[in-house]
């Protein structure tokens, strides 16, 4: 990596959250009354400067209130145009030096996926399997249109109705055929069968066949409700990552990766300092002399499976995290900006990259900031090269703390 080379930066964690009205043209006519009922609830939360939504979020999570600075920052993040306007998004990406991004739903502006999530990015409890599938189709068709404006720069992740595996398989096939590049894969939750259940085999098979990586975002699993807002934020940071990672060992020890060698699983957001310790724990469970049956089910050692199948989207990565990965380990770690969230790096992304990667092995840096994401999500680095040459940070810039 020469000092004047411009890096091709790919963010493994970015979000869209369009005004709910933008979904209406994609809603089947027979469901428009139910859609409009949800839309009116969203519109009520939009009143004022955004603090109404932030404070209502705290109430929905059962907490006593958020710090005023967090309320203000969430309101600012909720007004970032690029979470719904493609041209504004690309302008922000260019300013940040980000050539491409992986897109989840979920902003901090109170908007929803109809019939699936509420304004607080929580699953709607009373959604039926039919309406969950309708909501997924609405969102996926909007997202396919959104990314089609610059398909080389975006990997959109489709929503899937996990309560109806047949519908989920159909949705993955539609998404792949229409330019989406992965699956927003829910973390294990109490109300659904665990991921070792045979019911999921057709779903895993189609994702492997089409090379649509399963991608679980932090915070998508079970939650505990706390009554103190400041403590709740801290506790959810600590516990949210753990519950989001449960899919790793469920798929490994159930032999899912052994049966589907082209399947990939990504866990995104939060820190990645846990990876070496988790790999030690997984191998310890695998070699347990009191449980030889686990080796018959699992196939290879978990640490070996990890290298081929498991990846981490390490959003707003710290320098200490980047430093722990030699070149080989860095091939499973992907940096992310978490655009446009208040805790993300925008609009200071280039400074954040310097803070993280100054002094890090150049080959490992190239993997973590872009090459691994390109491999996992199918970005064409040759196509992205002219964009990176125009906007990407110079390698020399990343050597300066």
Per-residue pLDDT of the chain (401 residues; tens, 9 = 90+): 676 889 999 999 999 999 999 999 999 999 999 999 999 988 887 775 555 555 555 544 444 456 777 777 777 888 899 999 999 999 999 999 999 999 999 988 889 999 997 655 566 656 799 999 999 999 999 999 999 999 999 999 999 999 999 999 999 999 999 999 999 999 998 889 999 999 999 999 999 999 999 999 987 777 767 777 778 778 877 777 888 999 999 999 999 999 999 999 999 997 888 999 999 999 999 999 999 999 988 989 999 999 999 999 999 999 999 998 876 678 999 999 999 999 999 999 999 999 999 999 989 999 999 999 999 999 999 999 999 999 999 988 887 77
φ/ψ of 48, rounded to 5, equals 85, -150
Q: What is the pLDDT of residue 190?
A: 87
Q: What is the pLDDT of residue 56?
A: 55
Alpha helices by DSSP H, 287-348: 293-298, 302-309, 319-323, 327-330
* Burial of 147 from C-beta contacts in 10 A (0-12 / 13-18 / 19+): buried
Whole-number Å distance between alpha carbons of 59 and 62: 5
Q: Half-sphere exposure (CA, 13 Å, Cβ side) for 81?
A: 8
Q: Which residues are paired to 313 by β-bridges?
A: 268, 334
Domains and CATH numbers, the chain: 10-18+86-109+132-399 (3.20.20.140)
Whole-number Å distance between alpha carbons of 341 and 100: 17
What pTM was estimated for this model as a whole? 0.93
Contacts of 223 (CB under 8 A, 6+ apart): 61, 122, 236, 240, 243
Q: What is the pLDDT of residue 63?
A: 44
* Burial of 292 from C-beta contacts in 10 A (0-12 / 13-18 / 19+): exposed
Asked whether 29 and 97 are in contact (CB, 8 A), the reply is no
Q: What is the pLDDT of residue 119?
A: 58
Whole-number Å distance between alpha carbons of 12 and 100: 9
Contacts of 90 (CB under 8 A, 6+ apart): 82, 150, 153
Q: What is the pLDDT of residue 271?
A: 80
Distance of CA 106 to the CA centre of its chain: 10
Q: What is the pLDDT of residue 28?
A: 98
């Amino acid at each position: 990596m020469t000092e004047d080379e411009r890096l091709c930066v790919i963010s493994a964690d970015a979000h869209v959250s369009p005004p709910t009205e933008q979904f209406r043209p994609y809603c089947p006519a027979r469901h428009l009354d139910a859609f409009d009922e949800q839309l009116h609830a969203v519109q009520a939360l939009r009143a004022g400067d955004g603090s109404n939504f932030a404070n209502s979020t705290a109430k929905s999570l059962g907490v006593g209130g958020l710090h005023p600075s967090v309320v203000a920052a969430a309101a600012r993040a909720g007004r970032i145009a690029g979470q719904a306007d493609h041209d504004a998004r690309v302008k922000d990406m260019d300013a940040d030096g980000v050539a491409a991004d992986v897109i989840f739903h979920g902003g901090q502006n109170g908007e929803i996926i109809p019939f699936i999530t509420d304004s607080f990015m929580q699953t709607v409890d009373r959604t039926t399997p039919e309406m969950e599938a309708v909501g997924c189709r609405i969102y996926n068709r909007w997202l396919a249109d959104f990314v089609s404006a610059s398909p080389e720069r975006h990997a959109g992740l489709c929503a899937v109705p996990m309560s109806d595996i047949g519908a989920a398989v159909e949705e993955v096939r539609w998404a792949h055929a229409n330019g989406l590049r992965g699956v927003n894969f829910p973390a294990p939750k109490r109300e659904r069968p665990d991921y070792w259940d045979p019911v999921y085999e057709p779903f895993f098979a189609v994702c492997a066949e089409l090379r649509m990586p399963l991608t679980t975002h932090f915070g998508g699993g079970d939650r505990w409700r706390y009554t103190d807002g400041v403590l709740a934020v801290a506790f959810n940071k600590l516990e949210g990552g753990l519950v989001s990672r449960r899919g790793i060992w469920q798929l490994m020890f159930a032999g899912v990766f052994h049966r589907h060698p082209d399947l990939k699983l990504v866990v995104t957001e939060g820190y990645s300092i846990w990876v070496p310790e988790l790999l030690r724990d997984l191998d310890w469970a695998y070699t347990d002399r009191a449980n030889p049956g686990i080796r018959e089910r699992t196939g290879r050692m978990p640490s070996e499976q990890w290298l081929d199948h498991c990846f981490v989207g390490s959003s707003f990565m710290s320098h200490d995290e980047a430093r722990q990965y030699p070149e080989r380990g860095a091939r499973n770690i992907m940096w992310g900006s978490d655009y446009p969230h208040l805790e993300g790096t925008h609009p200071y992304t280039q400074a954040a990259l310097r803070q993280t990667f100054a002094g890090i092995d150049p080959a490992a840096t190239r993997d973590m900031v872009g090459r691994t994401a390109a491999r996992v999500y199918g970005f064409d680095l040759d196509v992205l090269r002219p964009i990176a040459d125009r906007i990407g940070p110079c390698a020399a810039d990343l050597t300066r703390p």
